[in-house]
Amino acid sequence: MKALKLASTLATPYAVIGLSAKDGKLKIESGAVTVNEKALLEILKNLGATGKSNEIIKVPFSKPQTIYFTGLGETSKSYDPENLRRAAGSAARELAGQSAATFALPASTLAQISAVAEGAALGAYAFNEFRSSTKSDFKEPLEQIIVATKSTTDAAVKRALVRAEIIARHTATVRDLINTPPSHLTPDSFCSRMKKLATPLGLKVEILNEATLKAQGYGGIIGVGQGSANPPRLLRVSYNPSKARARYAFVGKGITFDTGGLALKPANGMEAMKSDMSGAAAVIGAIFAIAELKLPIAIDAWAPLAENMVSENATRPSDIINIYGGKTVEVLNPDAEGRLVLADALVRAQEVGKKAGGLDGIIDVATLTGAQVVALGTRTSAVMTNDVEFSQEFLTASEKAGEAFWPMPLPEELRASLDSPVADLANIGDRMGGMLVAGLFLKEFIEPDLSWLHLDIAGPSYNEATPHGYTPVGGTGIALRTLVTLIESASSQAPRSRK
């Protein structure tokens, strides 16, 4: 996607219009513009259109030349923004290869107009970087998105469009990172790519290499990364606006490939573990968007990066490592590596936050457990917390952003399963409730009076099925929109009273 604009008429050869149905009766939903509904309904009936979500019906017409009818489901007086986001996204995906299209959907509120712009821009994505001889078989994403609205001069609508473009561009970066295989994305190259993007945004970047990590006691990141020829890194990107109203830390799991280490994963499906840095990509993408939106909240985004490999140097089951700050962990299963790199980064993030005057909250984002996918499936992420009020705020933001998150508990009785006979903690506990056990492990590294969210995005971060709505196959970019929306609402609120 190259540009996002507003218009009050259908001036492009391609148009996207909504189609709904109720009691077997189709309804054309063209929002701010009018079309010849009678003639079009006749054609749509003959084509067997249903108006169901995810349905796209292409109709050759005169003006506009081609209409893409996108299903909105049941006819409504006012459509849910996420419904519009998805309908616009499905159509944008179908429009790959075209240079421009006008989206005329039933959007009158700011939330609805934003959703149309966002959905269309998010749907206009493709990852063809590594195609060579087959490149010409694949279409480029839709280039120009025009959102039809009566309020083309409204300042808030204009801002919403700018915001949608920012969200989509940084989501594309997150998706690209996830889709890039470990042959082309190592802890070091992740850092250099991010540094290149961070600098023009005025962000500060700090990169710790393996020698520094070792010298300063980052035993989790070193222990996970030591089996690989591609050494680990700790990346920190800082956004420090003047007169910040609050300060948050984001920490994202950055395993550039997870073989499972000496607890080697089965070959079947291992390729999906190139996505095990989705949390790191999401938090860096989010801070980029937050900085570009100039939100008045200070953020440090941390990405502990390592490649979990098998070699003579790999961490063995029974090895004991020292997490940053001193806690010892017995590594019983080297495939439970995410929590080890996160522990280092969480402790460091809190130390730095304290020096800067205290954090208002800390959020980690991770493709942490297969148990998350078993519990919630591939489209709903989990949120765990030590502060229900904070997670409520987060869930409100997720609803607004159109990303599905669901609260999960951290039951105290599971904690004892992480006891080790030889160290402060073992890196695995009860298999049952594995997502919660992983959350309880991380909780050991959080200061009790600091508000903390743990997001397990193992399923939703990577789409191995078919595209749907604005979601492509491969990296999805999940969590970025909710993080940005949360910081937006924190920007317009009085500082949250610390827990």
Catalytic center residues: 265, 339
From 107-115, 197-205, 254-262, 285-293, span contacting Mn ion (CB under 5 A) = 254-262
Strand ranges in 115-253 using DSSP code E only, listed in sequence order: 144-148, 204-208, 233-239, 247-252
**Cα(229)–Cα(58) distance, integer angstroms:** 51
From 229-237, 243-251, 365-373, 398-406, span contacting ligand BES (CB under 6 A) = 365-373
The residue from 118, 188, 258, 292 that contacts Mn ion (CB under 5 A) is 258
Residues 6+ apart with CB under 8 A from 235: 190, 191, 194, 205, 206, 207, 254, 280, 284, 302, 303, 304, 305
The residue from 82, 188, 210, 276 that contacts Zn ion (CB under 5 A) is 276
Contact set for ligand BES, span 420-459 (CB under 6 A): 428, 434, 458
Q: How far is the CB of 155 from Zn ion (least distance, A)?
A: 45
Under the binding rule (CB under 5 A), the answer on residue 307 touching Zn ion is no
Under the binding rule (CB under 6 A), the answer on residue 364 touching ligand BES is no
Task: Output phi, psi for 395, to 5 deg.
Answer: -65, -35
Q: Between residues 258 and 344, which has the closer beta carbon with respect to Mn ion?
A: 258
**β-bridge mates for residue 306, sequence order:** 255
* CB count in 10 Å sphere of residue 119: 31
Question: Do residues 185 and 256 make contact, with C-beta atoms less than 8 angstroms apart?
Answer: yes
Under the binding rule (CB under 5 A), the answer on residue 456 touching Mn ion is no
Q: What is the DSSP letter of 453?
A: E
Is 221 in a helix, a strand, or coil?
A: helix
Strand ranges in 107-246 using DSSP code E only, listed in sequence order: 144-148, 204-208, 233-239
Q: Between residues 253 and 348, which has the closer beta carbon with respect to ligand BES?
A: 253
Q: How far is the CB of 483 from Mn ion (least distance, A)?
A: 23
Q: Between residues 246 and 457, which has the closer beta carbon with respect to ligand BES?
A: 457
Under the binding rule (CB under 6 A), the answer on residue 330 touching ligand BES is no
Under the binding rule (CB under 5 A), the answer on residue 29 touching Zn ion is no
Q: What is the CA radius of gyration of the chain?
A: 23
Nearest C-alpha neighbor of 438 from the set 448, 449, 427: 427
Strand ranges in 75-221 using DSSP code E only, listed in sequence order: 100-104, 144-148, 204-208
Q: What is the DSSP letter of 468?
A: B
Q: What mask of x and - would describe binding to Zn ion in positions 246 to 265, judged by CB under 5 A?
A: ---------x--x-------
**Cα(127)–Cα(180) distance, integer angstroms:** 9
Under the binding rule (CB under 6 A), the answer on residue 360 touching ligand BES is no
In the complex, which residues of this chain contact Mn ion (CB under 5 A)?
258, 335, 337
Residues that bind ligand BES in the complex, under the rule CB under 6 A: 258, 276, 333, 335-338, 367-371, 373, 428, 434, 458
Residue numbers of the site for Zn ion (CB under 5 A)? Answer: 255, 258, 276, 338
